[in-house]
């Protein structure tokens, strides 16, 4: 129906929709949305580690669980994952030799896979095993940044394709992760650059800040692991989420905020592999799949 409204200081006859009671439909909602719209904040962003920060346990472990259910791996391979996790926790430090070996074999297990198959498996396995393990508290923190008009990236040692799927499912901006070399739509099994681990995360964020025009002093980073202190140190706001003992001590010394979404301190000893073992898990996955391939050829 036609109704006279004041538009731009003048009376103007416009056509508006009304409901059964004669109330205008759409005007109030549109005005409210415009009033509540938050302009993009192009210089501020948030960076979230994934393993034990955004998700309970290591994403590569749950990915391996999904592969095992599809007969790519066996329960024996998964048992070796747990052994590697226990070994890393006992050593309480990174072993340079293991890291070097892990880098050499990190993504060997995807050699010959099509990129679209990797993306499909990542989507399926996220929905099956990972979605329910997202920390609600950390997800809410990410949403606060999005609501403030900021972009939010995941930064993980996991394959970047898996990181992108997690980011997409959570409605985040994107992900930074370990990159596998691709030729003709298939993986060669070699890495492009380093594992996205430790100082490499800080380097990636610095590069991203340059490309995206970010002011790192206005950015925030979140992690559970002391391995990510380099990443936490380059932003203006660092938050320790479900921190390990070393990061908790560092946060206390530097005055960083601490958020713990675990039900108790015993949760720090979660049985599934954590970020510290992610690099070795790549090697374990590679070894397991290579063994399956050798057996299938006999």
* d(C-alpha 239, C-alpha 196), whole Å: 19
Active site residue 147: no
Task: Show the tokens assigned to 121.
Answer: 């498996």
* d(C-alpha 238, C-alpha 249), whole Å: 14
CB 224 within 8 A of CB 215: no
- Contacts of 99 by beta carbon, 8 Å cutoff, 6+ apart: 195, 197, 279
Active site residue 117: no
Catalytic residue among 31, 49, 228, 260: 49
Catalytic residue among 51, 77, 224, 228: 51
* d(C-alpha 51, C-alpha 49), whole Å: 6
User: Is residue 73 packed enough to be buried (19+ CB in 10 Å), middle (13-18) or exposed (0-12)?
Assistant: buried
CB 194 within 8 A of CB 99: no
Angle at 168 between CA 157 and CA 283, to 5 degrees: 25
Beta pairing class for 10-15 and 2-7: antiparallel
Active site residues per annotation: 49, 51
């Amino acid at each position: 129906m036609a109704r006279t409204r004041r538009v731009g200081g003048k009376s103007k006859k416009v056509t508006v929709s009304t409901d059964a009671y004669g109330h205008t439909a759409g005007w109030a909602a549109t005005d409210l949305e415009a009033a509540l719209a938050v302009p993009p904040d192009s210089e501020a962003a948030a960076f979230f580690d994934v393993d034990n920060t955004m998700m309970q346990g290591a994403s590569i472990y749950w990915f391996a669980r999904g592969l095992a259910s599809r007969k790519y791996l066996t329960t024996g391979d998964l048992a070796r994952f747990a052994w590697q996790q226990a070994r890393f926790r006992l050593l309480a430090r990174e072993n340079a030799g293991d890291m070097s070996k892990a880098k050499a074999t990190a993504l060997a297990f995807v050699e010959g896979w099509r990129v679209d198959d990797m993306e499909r498996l990542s989507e399926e396995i996220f929905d099956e095993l990972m979605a329910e393990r997202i920390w609600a508290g950390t997800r809410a923190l990410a949403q606060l940044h999005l609501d403030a008009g900021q972009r939010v990236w995941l930064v993980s040692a996991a394959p970047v394709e898996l990181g992108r799927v997690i980011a997409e499912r959570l409605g985040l901006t994107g992900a930074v992760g370990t990159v596998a070399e691709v030729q003709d739509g298939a993986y060669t099994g070699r890495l492009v650059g380093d594992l996205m681990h430790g100082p490499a995360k800080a380097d990636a964020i610095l590069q991203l800040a340059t490309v995206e025009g970010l002011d790192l002093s206005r950015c925030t980073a979140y992690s559970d692991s002391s391995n990510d202190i380099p990443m936490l140190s380059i932003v203006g706001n660092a938050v320790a989420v479900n921190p390990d003992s070393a990061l908790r001590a560092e946060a206390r010394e530097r005055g960083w905020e601490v958020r713990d979404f675990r039900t108790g301190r015993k949760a720090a000893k979660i049985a599934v592999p954590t970020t510290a073992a992610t690099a070795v898990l790549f090697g374990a996955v590679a070894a397991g799949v290579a063994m399956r391939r050798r057996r299938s050829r006999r």
